[in-house]
Chains A and B, each alone.
Chain A
Amino acid sequence: MTGGPRKRLLLATGSAALAVALAACGSSGPAGAGGGEGGGDAIQVWALQDTVLNPIEQSSVERFSEGDGGDASLETFGNDPYKQRLRVALGSPNAPDVFFNWGGGNLKEYVDAGQVADLTATVEEEGLDEAFIPSVLEAAQLDGKYYGVPMRGVQPVALYYNKAVFEEAGVQPPETYEELLTLVDTFKAQGITPIALAGSQSWTELMWAEYLLDRIGGPEVFQAIRDGEPGAWEDPAVLEAMTRIRELVDRGAFGSDFASVGYDVGGASTLLAQGRAAMHLMGSWEYVNQLGQSPEFVERGDLGYVAFPAVEGGEGDPANVVGNPTNFYSVAESSDAKETAQQFVATALDDEQYVDDLIAAGDVPAVQGVREKLEQADNADYTTWVYDLVEGAPSFQLSWDQDLPAAQATEMLTELQKLFLGDQTPEGFVQAMSS
């Protein structure tokens, strides 16, 4: 469920069944079936719908078509319909040549099925391994081979807080987990919900699980679980992370109503902006969201942001981040125009104009050395902070639900929500996931 604009998610799921029915009827656009004419073949590029980013992607596709590499056309889909349609389309005659994805386990399933072209040669020839931030590029790397090239901004998860509320209480944002617990007690005593949590959607709860597991066990635990190593779920770090979640809930960190607070309708963000909650753990899109929903709150300078606190004695580097490293373009193995497609992904985000457009739209591209450009754009304080956070991160763990195979991810989200509700114990969570 992670990735892309959240607000459309709800409606997208509502119409998902219909979309699948329509997809089955096959309304493929100008697919890559066209033979080579002139400079190259026609390629079809699939991406996720986004009102801000789609025009930028469209003009990048047009610039590519104007060159002599070949013709490219862009087709976009809503979040859930896209995931469903891509699955069925890949390997069928209606497959796109270039497709958008989230990297990690999400991409791995396609790679394992032999549906994704190896881009290692292209990446190395074009020097793309130098052009992008390494921890980001890694999310599309499997067994030492590259299967995707970054094409949108980075989306790390950070701890947002209400500066006015913190000032009134005379406290500082937490640097360690112990400090976080103390803050929970402080705010609770003042009748303020310590942490806003949109718990009706389990991906928001997942962010807590991811950061705690990373801080306690480090990226190796995620790696072992993703690789399906036997006993990986029984790692003591998993149990400890889940135990700490229960500790937070029992302490009243998220208040008592979190299970029906939604993110899509602005519930959690509004609680933070109105000062009814002190902190909110969310993806980097929260800033743009707040700017849209509660502009005064951001313009007053009351929206604070810090990295997730360190956990004492944990093995994970406190500089690690979790979230969406970025989104990737990958090439379908079955594409008739693989060379043109590879050419396209190699030049997509490397294009100066494309990077400028993304920055102007408030995105933070995963390209090395764009810090100066960010400094000159709007909201420079925030975007450079995000950029530094990601560039300095030894590990950028992809959202866990995307990083796991779909069936396991779905089960994990269910078990996690039960854990937050108290319907599941930390031990029960581990047991359910390892069986």
Chain B
Amino acid sequence: MASTTSALRRPGSGATDRSRRGRPGGRRPALQGHQPSAWYAVPAFGFFAAFALLPMLLVVYLSFTDWGGFGTPAVSGAGNWSRLVEDPEVRASLLRTLALTVLSWAVQTPIALLIGVWAAGPQRNRAVLSSLFFLPLLLSTAAIALLWQALLDPNFGVLRTLPELLGGGLNPLGDASLAIYAVVFVLTWQYVPFHTLLYQSAARGIPASLYEAATIDGAGRVQQFLTITLPQLRYTVITSSILMLVGSLTTFDTVLILTNGGPGTATRIAPLYMYTTGFSGFEFGYASAIAVLLLVLGAILSLVVTRATGFRDMSSQQEGA
């Protein structure tokens, strides 16, 4: 994220950048008089309208209907919405989603950050180990979920072979109070490599001169990490966090295959509840209402994160932007 040059600038110098953008004479005189026409955006807007806006509008429309899948949807007014407000399972599934999101973030961020910074180092053995760390990135979600389901199987999985080590009789996927942690664990295994990759590349962009100066000043490794690495990676932390938060909000496939929301409803997160309502119960109208709720929550969440972290100012950190 942060480029080499931006790293040299002190934090909080965004204002200078903005002023530069408006500077008369600009940095790219060659482009003057050749501003791209707004028409260039038509294909992109066309795609966006056809594959994002239109389906969204259809879902909003469906949320005001009763539709079992056949025939014409019958408009039912706000029926689905009042049911949504009263349905205890909606609240419960949102709380599960929230728990999953917070846990995933809290567990994945430190792990990915530490591995990423470590893997950014120059030694050769790190390159080999790093490529091993990134292995889960190559597997499909279905394969990962099926793999862990088999490994965590109480009768034939690894937990059976190490029961003494783990306190004995541990059955994470079959225990309603443990299942969510099992899901977080599998998600962590699956996504940490991706975020590690982000941190690795960002950490490589931090100029060595900063560390050299710090070493001369007598700063230790921990101090260097806290005062140089971490601040330099702040935009990467934000990027990675937004990806995690929004990703967790829509996590679906792993949970579907790993636990299918079970045992009972212990891991029935909101997107899964929407899926079950729509594609098992065939209440497409009500499922659409849940979908709209998720859409709104997702949009709010990413706006809040963006605002709260000043993420939108990031582009101004780039030289020449």
| Contact of A260 with B279 at beta-carbon distance under 8 Å, contacts A110-B70, A115-B70 already known | no
Q: Which stretch in A9-17, A32-40, A41-49 binds the other chain? A: A9-17
* Chain A residues with CB below 8 A from B263, complex form: 199-200, 259-260, 417, 421
Residues of B within 8 A of A87 (CB): 68-70, 282
Partner of B174, one of A1, A91, A257, A265: A257
Residue A248 CB within 8 A of the other chain: no
Q: Say whether A20 faces chain B, with CB atoms less than 8 Å apart.
A: yes
Does A256 lie at the interface of the complex (its beta carbon under 8 Å from any beta carbon of B)? yes
Is A262 engaged at the interface, CB distance under 8 Å to the other chain? yes
Across the interface, B70 reaches (CB within 8 A) one of A16, A90, A261, namely A90
Known contacts A271-B155, A423-B176, A80 near B279 by CB under 8 Å: yes
Name the distance in Å between B49's Cβ and chain A's nearest Cβ.
17
Which one, A14, A88, A406, A410, contacts B257 given CB within 8 A? Answer: A14
Q: Which of B171, B275, B280, B282 has the most CB of A within 10 A?
A: B280
- Segment 218-268 of B: residues with Cβ below 8 Å from A: 253, 256-257, 259-260, 262-265
Known A-B contacts A14-B257, A200-B174; A260 and B152 likewise in contact (beta carbons under 8 Å): yes
Contact B277 A410 (CB under 8 A): yes
Judge whether B70 and A276 touch: CB under 8 Å: no
CB <8 Å contact, B175 and A259? yes
Tell which of B142, B156, B176 touches A270, judged by Cβ atoms closer than 8 Å: B156
Q: A20-B279, A87-B69 are in contact. Are A257 and B155 (CB under 8 A)?
A: yes
Complex: A276 Cα to B156 Cα, angstroms:
12
User: CA A301 – CA B149 in complex, angstroms?
Assistant: 32
Are A260 and B277 CB-contacts (below 8 A) given A113-B71, A407-B282, A417-B263?
Answer: no
Verify B264–A421 contact, CB threshold 8 A. yes
**B304 on interface, CB distance cutoff 8 Å:** no
Residues of chain B lying within 8 A (CB to CB) of residue A14: 142, 253, 256-257
Question: Known: A84-B279, A87-B282, A410-B276. Contact between A423 and B174, CB under 8 A?
Answer: no
Q: In the complex, A10→B149 CA distance in Å? A: 12
A418 lies within 8 A of chain B by Cβ: yes
How far, in angstroms, from A258 to B263 measured CA to CA in the complex? 10
* Complex Cα spacing A13 to B156, Å: 24
Alpha-carbon distance A158/B55, docked complex (angstroms):
46
Is A261 touching B281 in the complex (CB atoms < 8 A)?
Answer: no
Contact A84 B149 (CB under 8 A): no
Contact of B276 with A200 in the complex, beta carbons under 8 Å: no
Q: Tell me the minimal C-beta distance from B123 to chain A in angstroms.
A: 40
Q: Which single residue of chain B is at the shortest CB-CB distance from A410?
A: B281
Q: Please, what's the 1-or-0 string for A52-92, where 1 marks a CB less than 8 Å from any CB in chain B? A: 00000000000000000000000000001000100110110
- Asked whether any CB of chain A lies closer than 8 Å to the CB of B153, the reply is yes
Q: Known contacts being A199-B174, A200-B174, A259-B262, is A16 close to B279, with CB within 8 Å?
A: yes
Instruction: Find B280's partner among A90, A201, A410 (CB 8 Å cutoff).
Output: A410
For the complex, count residues of A whose C-beta is within 8 A of B. Answer: 45
Q: Does B180 contact A (CB under 8 A)?
A: no
Given A87-B282, A418-B265, A423-B176, A257:B154 Cβ within 8 A: yes
B142 / chain A contacts, CB cutoff of 8 Å: 11, 14
Is B46 located at the chain interface by the 8 A CB criterion? no
- Bound-state Cα–Cα, A202 to B175, Å: 15
CA of A407 to CA of B154, assembled, Å:
32
With A14-B257, A113-B71, A276-B155 as contacts: A259 and B281 at CB distance below 8 Å:
no
B280, A265: Cβ atoms closer than 8 Å: no
Q: How far is the CB of A234 from chain B (nearest CB, A)?
A: 21
Give 1 or 0 for each of B137-163: 1 = CB within 8 Å of chain A CB.
000001000100110111110000000
A256 to B69, Cβ gap below 8 A? no
In the complex, A261 Cα to B89 Cα: how many Å? Answer: 25
A296 interface residue per 8 A CB criterion = no
Bound-complex Cα distance A258 to B171 (A): 10
Contact B276 A265 (CB under 8 A): no
* Residue among A14, A109, A258, A259 with the highest chain B CB neighbour number at 10 A: A259
- B69: contacting residue among A16, A88, A199, A259, CB under 8 A: A88
Q: Give the distance to chain B from A265, nearest Cβ to Cβ, in Å.
A: 6
Complex Cα distance, B267 from A417, in Å, reads: 13
A10 to B141, CA, bound (A): 13
Chain A residues, Cβ within 8 Å of B176: 259, 421, 423
Query: Once the chains bind, are B281 and A407 in contact (CB under 8 Å)?
Result: yes
Q: Shortest Cβ distance from B52 into chain A, in angstroms?
A: 14
Residues of A within 8 A of B276 (CB): 410
| Inter-chain contacts of A260 with B (CB < 8 A) | 152-154, 171-175, 263
Could you say which of A11, A16, A407 contacts B283, with CB atoms under 8 Å apart? A407
A227 near B: Cβ within 8 Å? no
* A270 to B154 CA separation, bound complex (whole angstroms): 13
**B169 CB within 8 Å of chain A:** yes
Rounded to whole angstroms, the CA-CA distance of A255 and B225 in the bound complex is 51
Q: List residues of chain A with CB within 8 A of the CB of B171.
A: 256-257, 259-260
Residue with the highest number of chain A CB atoms closer than 10 Å, among B70, B260, B276: B70
List A residues at the B interface (Cβ < 8 Å).
1, 10-11, 13-14, 16-17, 20, 80, 84, 87-88, 90-91, 109-110, 113, 115, 199-202, 256-262, 265, 267, 270-271, 276, 406-407, 409-411, 414, 417-418, 421, 423-424
- Cβ-closest 4 pairs across A and B: A260-B174, A87-B69, A259-B174, A257-B154
